Homo-oligomer: A and B are copies of this chain.
Amino acid sequence: MYESDRPHEACGIVAAYGVPSVANLIQAGLFSLQHRGQEGAGIVVSDGRSIRSHKGLGLVNDVFLPGRLAELPGHLGIGHVRYSTTGSDRIQNVQPLVAECVDGIWAIAHNGNLVNAQALRRMYQEAGAIFQTGTDSEVLIHLLADPMYRNRPRRVARALMELNGAFAFVLMTSTSIMAARDPYGFKPLSIGKLGEGWMIASETCALNQLGAEYLRDVQPGELVVINEHGLQSSRFMDLDKKRMAQCVFEHVYFARPDSLVFGQNVHNVRMKLGMRLAEEHPVEADVVISVPDSGNSAALGFSQRSGIHLDYGFMRNHYVGRTFIMPKADARARSVDMKLAVIADVVRGKRVVVVDDSIIRGTTSQRRVSALRAAGAREIHLRISCPPTTHPCFFGIDFATREELVAADRSIEQIRQVTGADSVGYLSIEGLLSPFPDAANYCTACFSGDYRVDISAVQGKDDLEQVAPMLKFDP
């Protein structure tokens, strides 16, 4: 996970209300969501009167060193962990964003990608607005501040209606927290009850670990407001069942196995994907191994369904962090995979099924096949618990560009050659959707190109790329 050759998720978000020392709780929640973003973290809290914040680059525990939390008193707040697409440190882009409008301060934290952010940004800029970050999330604050929405009832709902794309938002003022999901339901967002208080988080694992009771998901198109009057729900967009587009990659790769995502336990789903994979691509072999950790559940499922023994063929070094600098001076060392080591005894002389969650560029798979061969594996059969990734995602997943996607214009046989495996088997789209009773509600665009959201604005992505040097400034 989290290699340059893996898909990247944008963020994890948390909000809480009615909890003493809320910053501690939010920090712990962000820590549980650390897998969703390791490049930056921020917390904003309020004691009902003053809003305070702290954010920084790095892991949650590095940003919030001992002592920091004590400077963030309050009983409501929101938090964010962020993945950024470049290695440079852009403190300005770390969320939550905080800004003062005429009637007070808003803080927002966003998971997802808005396909009309650029259009809205230009529209507001034409009217005189300035943007101080490179994030697409900043447009929401401009919408909230816009008199057109500001001075009418249901201001937040009206603002959210203008957004198109994938989003799970948590927002706050000095007295309320809010949570909203786009009407397609791309991104997960769950509500929990914690004593007298409330907690919102991208994944239920954050609720569980803090002892909060999972109530339900924020619904697609729903806006939830929590304050001294309790929780109020409203709908800013009708649910169009035909347009639901829950991100199946959350199940395949992003989410933590112990989370409920879109109502299904992630580990269970992955087990079933592994079972289906065994049915779709059976193979005679001696052992099934996983590419840890994201392939673990599917490998277990594959083993159970195929009857081929599971074993642990790769050992993962969990100390690899973003600060690790690979030795450069020694050519031998350079080609080495410091994250995964082969347990040679497990694969030597064996016919090995390797279960992985996806192949993006193919280079990592190639390196691992080669490491297994060097350790003496007799046959290597790659089994991938999703279909070939052939199309870019415009909704928050940072795949490699289309040119870099190994499956974009290669046959399975060609992919096999790239990886060096003896066989490669991908799960079918049907297989991928088989664990879900609400299969039609899932977006599979990255496998099929069937985008359920109008991306023509983004197809002006050429424009977007032209302005990219501008957008990617580091203010």
Contact = CB atoms under 8 A, between A and B. Distances in A.
Interface of A: 19-21, 24-25, 27-28, 31-32, 34-35, 38, 44, 49-54, 59-62, 65-66, 69, 71, 88, 91-92, 97-102, 104-107, 122, 125-132, 141-142, 145-148, 150, 194-195, 205, 208-211, 256-258, 265, 267-268, 271, 296-297, 300, 304, 309-312, 315, 317-319, 321, 323-330, 332-333, 335-338, 341-346, 469-471, 473-475
B312 A310 contact: no
Contacts of A332: 194-195, 210-211
A257 B323 contact: no
5 contacts: A25-B330, A31-B317, A101-B128, A265-B344, A267-B312
B104 A129 contact: no
B265 A28 contact: no
Nearest to A375: B208
A304 B55 CA distance: 48
Nearest to A46: B473
A285 to B, nearest CB: 16
Given A61-B323, A105-B470, A323-B61, A132 B98 contact: yes
B312 A27 contact: no
This chain: copies in complex: 4
Nearest to A59: B319
A33 to B, nearest CB: 10
Given A100-B473, A131-B100, A256-B315, A267 B335 contact: no
A475 B330 contact: no
Nearest to A38: B319
Given A52-B474, A142-B130, A150-B128, A61 B324 contact: yes
A258 B319 contact: no
A71 B338 CA distance: 23
B61 A210 contact: no
Contact of A265 (B35, B271, B329, B343): B343
Given A61-B319, A312-B257, A209 B25 contact: no
Contacts of A146: 128
Given A128-B129, A330-B24, A474-B53, A208 B145 contact: no
B317 A309 contact: no
Contact of A20 (B25, B28, B127, B329): B329
A434 to B, nearest CB: 17
B258 A315 contact: yes
A47 to B, nearest CB: 11
A319, A344, A475 interface centre (most CB from chain B within 10 Å): A475
Contact of A31 (B44, B91, B205, B338): B338
Contacts of A132: 97-100, 132
Contact of A101 (B54, B61, B88, B130): B130
Nearest to A329: B21
A311 B300 contact: yes
B24 A209 contact: no
